[in-house]
């Protein structure tokens, strides 16, 4: 599973001047270390991340991770199915909110997502 693109975070770009420690942890621990461990592919990590964010109602982070998931090889159909599946286990409000983010993400005219 090492034959995949290196996962790079954007913490320093977002918060480096405002919250440098959070930016460092995001880039150096979450992405440089955890996301690049060979035990799971980036594709699998993306699918898990989208499911967890949807289940927890964390829609503010979901937009970014839907895009990252597609970059990592997860299809639109798979993401919609994952959110549908999560809805039945994590609660209707969280699932519906997540699907709303996905719908916006995938139907935005500026996006060319499979």
Q: What is the CATH number of the domain that holds 96?
A: 1.20.1290.10
Give the chain's domain count: 2
pLDDT at residue number 8: 73
Shared domain check, 50 and 16: no
Pair 84, 30 in one domain: no
The pTM (predicted TM-score) of the whole model is: 0.85
pLDDT tens, position by position, 89-108: 999 999 999 999 999 999 97
pLDDT of 114 reads 54
Asked if residue 52 and residue 34 are part of one domain, the reply reads: no
What are the contacts of 92-95 at 24+ separation with CB within 8 A?
Answer: 93/57, 94/54, 94/55, 94/56, 94/57, 95/54
Q: Are residues 107 and 56 in the same domain?
A: yes
Read off the pLDDT of residues 36-92 as tens digits, 9 standing for 90 and up: 899 999 999 999 999 999 999 999 999 999 999 999 999 999 999 999 999 999 999
pLDDT value, residue 74: 97
Tell me the mean pLDDT in the region 1-13.
71
d(CA 90, CA 104): 21
Question: Are residues 63 and 109 located together in one domain of the fold?
Answer: yes
Residue 6 shares a structural domain with residue 31: yes
Report residue 110's pLDDT band, with 50, 70 and 90 as the boundaries: low
Give the structural domain span for 101. Answer: 41-114
Least reliable range by pLDDT among 4-8, 13-17, 38-42: 4-8
Q: Do 111 and 61 fall within a single domain?
A: yes
Q: Are residues 60 and 111 in the same domain?
A: yes
**CB proximity list for 32: less than 8 A, separation 6 or greater:** 7, 8, 9
Looking at the fold, whether 63 and 106 belong to one and the same domain comes out as yes
Give the mean pLDDT of the chain: 90
CB 55 within 8 A of CB 93: no
Q: Verify that 34 and 45 share a domain, yes or no.
A: no
């Amino acid at each position: 599973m090492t034959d995949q693109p290196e996962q790079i975070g954007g913490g320093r770009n977002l918060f480096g001047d405002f919250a440098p420690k959070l930016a460092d942890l995001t880039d150096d621990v979450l992405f440089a270390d955890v996301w690049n461990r060979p035990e799971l592919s980036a594709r699998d990590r993306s699918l898990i991340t989208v499911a967890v964010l949807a289940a927890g109602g964390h829609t503010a982070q979901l937009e970014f991770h839907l895009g990252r998931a597609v970059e990592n090889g997860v299809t639109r159909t798979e993401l919609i199915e994952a959110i549908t599946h999560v809805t039945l286990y994590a609660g209707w409000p969280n699932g519906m909110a997540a699907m709303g983010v996905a719908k916006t993400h995938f139907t935005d005219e500026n996006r060319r997502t499979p």
